[in-house]
Amino acid sequence: MTDRCKQDTFLVQIGNRRDEHHRAVSTPIYFSTAFRHEHIGLQDGYDYTRSANPTRDVLEEAVAELEGGDGAFATSSGMAAVQLVFSLFEKGAHFIASRDIYGGNFRLFEVYEEKYGFRFSYWDGKSYEELAELIEEDTQAIFIETPTNPLMQTTDLEKVSEITKAHNILHIVDNTLFTPYVQKPLEIGADIVIHSATKYLAGHNDVLAGLVISKGEAITEELAFLQNSAGAVLSPYDCWSLIRGMKTLALRMRQHETNAKKVVEYLEQHPLVTDVYYPGRSGMVSFEITEEALVEPFLQQLKLFTFAESLGGVESFLTYPVTQTHMDIPEEVRLSYGLSNRLLRASVGIEHEDDIIEDLEQALAHIATLEVKHG
């Protein structure tokens, strides 16, 4: 892609020249689940929509190119994408995963441990020597979220790739928070990338979708076989919605980042904010306020930020991970790695930066009056 056009251009043009019959600019949605066969043994690529669908193909080919993979698979949710990847492995397999991960991933890994005989070790993201030491005889893959969620710590994917290559195991990256606009893990040695496309890629809080992108022929074929066998594919309509969202990804990501940097600057100087966590790119900012008791009144006071459980949409969201995205992580586990009851996670939207800051300002001013009463 990059030798032909820039990423921004590629995104805008997804699917624009695919309709040979009528030259539709917006890629057609093929709802048909079945495709006619002209004769026994003669059909031109499509027969049943679970196996392949023309609208899904447009999306999957574009995403494979964006991430620099050999193949891509669109799934019915981000969790279905994680499940597709873990269906590659057999019982008894051991994995190493980032300690600070999306709560839904942690919950699924718990299910895998209880029901499928998988074992997981967690890595705190600090020492790469320790990461290598966690590898066992049965280790099949290292699963990295970078930045981590919700503490927004980044991992050096090149260093992880050196380790996975030396031990001949797979390197899997959940690239939801950075998107290919910021980071392309397959180009720096990862084998598989996962997305909850529900977030930045779709971008408007109206599509649930997942993606898996793979590098290497054997693994891509295996994933295609498993995707068709298990069947959690993305519907043609949702493929089209995701394509439409992705056309503005570059534009949105730039504004998310600009606004997030303003929010970081503002929060860092506020006396009621004790810590700010920002990975330097993209639009996610986590921060801690002085007291757990102020969390609820702060959320109640917000007028522009929506208190809701997601991220990556055009609208600014605030999430309280403890009772929302990360509620399935036991409290003692959370606290052991720093996910405290005072932590809030902001998905900074693309509204005007002045309005975003003003909303935070008035909500913090409100809880400042409560803090005085407490004191």
Ligand X SMILES: *Cc1c(COP(=O)(O)O)cnc(C)c1O
| Nearest approach, Cβ of residue 283 and ligand X (Å) | 13
| Residue 102 binds ligand X (CB under 6 A) | yes
| Residue 338 binds ligand X (CB under 6 A) | no
Which residue of the chain is nearest ligand X when measured via CB? 78
Residue whose CB is less far from ligand X, 24 or 111: 111
What CA dihedral angle connects 85, 91, 95 and 99, to 10 degrees? 90
Binding-site member from 161, 176, 205, 286 for ligand X (CB under 6 A): 176
Binding-site member from 174, 238, 288, 359 for ligand X (CB under 6 A): 174
Q: Which of 84, 86, 59 is nearest to 72 (CA)?
A: 59
Q: Which of 187, 205, 183 is nearest to 196 (CA)?
A: 205
Report the alpha-carbon distance of residue 176 to residue 199 in Å, rounded: 7
| Residue 178 binds ligand X (CB under 6 A) | no
Which residues are catalytic, by number? 50, 102, 174, 199
Question: In degrees rounded to 5, what are phi and psi of residue 171?
Answer: -115, 110
**Contact (Cβ atoms closer than 8 angstroms) between residue 245 and residue 201:** yes
Report the alpha-carbon distance of residue 174 to residue 84 in Å, rounded: 13
Residue whose CB is less far from ligand X, 10 or 184: 184
Binding-site member from 29, 61, 104, 307 for ligand X (CB under 6 A): 104
| Residue 199 binds ligand X (CB under 6 A) | yes
| Residue 107 binds ligand X (CB under 6 A) | no
Binding-site member from 164, 196, 241, 347 for ligand X (CB under 6 A): 196
Q: How far is CA 161 from CA 145, 167, 172, 190, 195, in A?
A: 14, 10, 10, 6, 19
| Residue 66 binds ligand X (CB under 6 A) | no
Footprint (CB under 6 A) of ligand X, residues 202-231: 208, 210
Residue whose CB is less far from ligand X, 105 or 164: 105
Report the alpha-carbon distance of residue 349 to residue 317 in Å, rounded: 7
| Residue 255 binds ligand X (CB under 6 A) | no
Detail the DSSP E strand segments found in the chain: 71-75, 94-98, 119-123, 139-145, 170-174, 192-196, 210-214, 273-277, 284-289, 306-307, 317-319, 343-347
| Positions in the binding site for ligand X (CB under 6 A) | 77-79, 102, 104-105, 145, 149, 174, 176-177, 196, 198-199, 208, 210
